[in-house]
């Protein structure tokens, strides 16, 4: 999958095991319930544009599926 070549997490890199929202997002004024619903994507020197494009496509498809369940 495209997400295998990227690092994806629900929290900040320094607090990846914490269950609290990102202190950066809350400092920016993001409401806690929205901060809990965020994902962090990390890219490195070996992340290609093609891999990022594929990841975007996979995420888009999965979000569309989730929207079907919420209707």
The catalytic site residues sit at 14
Contact between 12 and 22 under an 8 Å Cβ cutoff? The reply is yes
Which of helix, strand or coil describes residue 52? helix
Q: Cβ(58)–Cβ(3) under 8 Å?
A: yes
For 40, the enclosing helix (H) or strand (E) is: strand 40-42
């Amino acid at each position: 999958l495209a997400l295998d070549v990227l690092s994806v997490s629900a929290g900040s890199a320094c607090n990846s095991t914490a269950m609290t929202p990102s202190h950066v997002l809350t400092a920016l004024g993001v409401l806690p319930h929205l901060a809990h619903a965020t994902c962090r994507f990390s890219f490195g020197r070996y992340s290609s544009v093609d891999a990022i494009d594929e990841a975007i496509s996979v995420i888009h498809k999965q979000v569309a599926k989730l929207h079907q369940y919420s209707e």
